[in-house]
């Protein structure tokens, strides 16, 4: 019997969680969370972790299962998820995955590229240079060593250029291997023991932005300020370089007023949603639905896809 992974993608606040629960209930299966910020125990409100009621409505995996102090890479997630799916498919040949982290979705659907082992000395030297010279050093290095990758990131995913962890990884592969990071991409076809059925949710931009603004207001009502305040002493952790927390950290630092911090959260979340859509629109064989589409119509589409296999 063939296995199927129904994957729900789309921008933040579009309604992915609600749809994934309806799908899981209909097909009597589990839900794999593919939102990289919902992994962390300490980050609940600001990452829109499914409520207790939502988690009780269907079995969720990879929700708040690690700490912000734990190292956890997309490669770790790929390994853990594939191992879990192998177990879940024994019970039910249909499972659901949902999330807004495009890189993590791709890791499961396509597999991760193979990269050479890098000498720890190279890695440490790059870190030292970054600590002395800042993010500009990493950006300059990538632009010189892998201009194709730098240009693509700048055009499609510019926030990555501000992510020191990702940038150090790009640069260490370039220097440690003597080849551009991009030369190791898409070298192999990973074999998966399932067929993806990808469902995308979308809305008109004004609607999407209104939903985002409303969600931020609800997060603040639910206690986001207090949650950020508890995390503030550890604000330099990579996991906390996240919209909703960064802006409030700047408020605590005295750089922002509270009202300006809130407006920045909304603005940066809208920008994030736009980048999510740019990423997800490249997803192969994704079927896009308006966010108001009844779940029964999407279930009919899924059933048709399974019957046509």
Is 15 annotated to bind ligand? yes
Domains 4-112+190-308 and 120-184 share a fold: no
**Residue of 170, 103, 110, 179 lying closest to 135 (CA atoms):** 170
Is 14 annotated to bind ligand? yes
E strands, 249-296, are 287-290
If one compares 152 and 248, the residue with the highest pLDDT of the two is 248
CATH classification of 4-112+190-308 is 3.20.20.70, yes or no? Answer: no
Other CB atoms within a 10 A radius of the CB of residue 293 amount to 16
Reading across the β-sheet that carries 94-98, which strands appear in turn?
Answer: 60-61, 31-33, 94-98, 4-9, 195-202, 287-290
* Rounded average pLDDT over 34-62: 95
Q: Specify the pLDDT at position 188.
A: 62
If one compares 156 and 56, the residue with the highest pLDDT of the two is 56
CATH classification of 120-184 is 1.10.20, yes or no? Answer: yes
Is 233 annotated to bind ligand? no
Token pair for residue 231?
Answer: 């995390």
User: pLDDT over 90 for what percent of the chain?
Assistant: 74
Is 120 annotated to bind ligand? no
- HSE of 178, CA atoms in CB hemisphere, 13 A: 0
Q: Specify the pLDDT at position 182.
A: 85
What are the residues facing 196 on neighbouring strands? 5
Q: Specify the pLDDT at position 233.
A: 97
Concatenate the DSSP letters of all residues of 74-139 into one string: HHHHHHHHHHHHHHHHHH-SEEEEE-S-HHHHHHHHH-PPP-----HHHHHHHHHHHHHH-HHHHH
**pLDDT per residue as tens digits for the range 91-119:** 999 999 999 999 899 999 988 767 777 77
Is 16 annotated to bind ligand? yes
pTM: 0.81
User: pLDDT over 70 for what percent of the chain?
Assistant: 98
Report domain extents, the chain: 4-112+190-308, 120-184
Is 13 annotated to bind ligand? yes
**pLDDT per residue as tens digits for the range 224-237:** 999 999 999 999 88
**pLDDT per residue as tens digits for the range 155-213:** 888 888 988 888 988 998 899 888 888 887 766 657 899 999 999 999 999 999 999 99
Rounded to whole angstroms, how far apart are CA atoms 233 and 145? 36
Rounded to whole angstroms, how far apart are CA atoms 17 and 29? 14
Q: Are 235 and 244 in contact (CB under 8 A)?
A: no
């Amino acid at each position: 019997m063939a296995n199927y992974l129904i994957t729900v993608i789309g921008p933040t606040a579009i309604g992915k969680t609600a749809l994934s629960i309806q799908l899981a209930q209909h097909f009597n299966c589990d839900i794999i969370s593919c939102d990289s910020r919902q992994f962390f125990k300490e980050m609940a409100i600001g990452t829109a972790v499914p409520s207790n009621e939502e988690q009780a409505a269907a079995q969720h995996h990879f929700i708040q299962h690690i700490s912000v102090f734990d190292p956890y890479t997309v490669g770790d997630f790929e390994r853990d998820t594939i191992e879990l799916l192998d177990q879940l498919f024994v019970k039910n040949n249909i499972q659901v995955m949902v999330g807004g982290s495009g890189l993590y979705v791709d890791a499961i659907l396509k597999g991760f590229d193979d990269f050479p082992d890098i000498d720890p000395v190279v890695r440490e030297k790059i870190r030292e240079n970054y600590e002395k010279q800042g993010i500009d050093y990493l950006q300059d290095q990538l632009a010189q060593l892998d201009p194709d990758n730098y240009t693509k990131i700048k055009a499609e995913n510019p926030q990555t250029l501000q992510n020191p962890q990702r940038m150090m990884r790009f640069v260490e592969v370039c220097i440690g291997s003597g080849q551009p990071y991009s030369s190791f991409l898409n070298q192999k076809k990973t074999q998966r023991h399932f067929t993806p059925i990808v469902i995308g949710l979308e809305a008109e931009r004004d609607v999407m932005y209104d939903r985002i603004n409303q969600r931020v207001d609800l997060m603040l009502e639910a206690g986001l300020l207090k949650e950020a305040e508890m995390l503030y002493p550890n604000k330099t952790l990579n996991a906390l370089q996240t919209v909703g927390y960064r802006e409030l950290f700047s408020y605590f630092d005295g750089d922002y007023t509270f009202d300006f911090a809130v407006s920045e959260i909304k603005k940066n979340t809208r920008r994030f949603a736009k980048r999510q859509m740019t990423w997800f629109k490249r997803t192969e064989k994704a079927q896009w639905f308006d966010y108001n589409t009844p779940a029964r119509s999407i279930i009919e589409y899924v059933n048709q896809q399974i019957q046509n296999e």
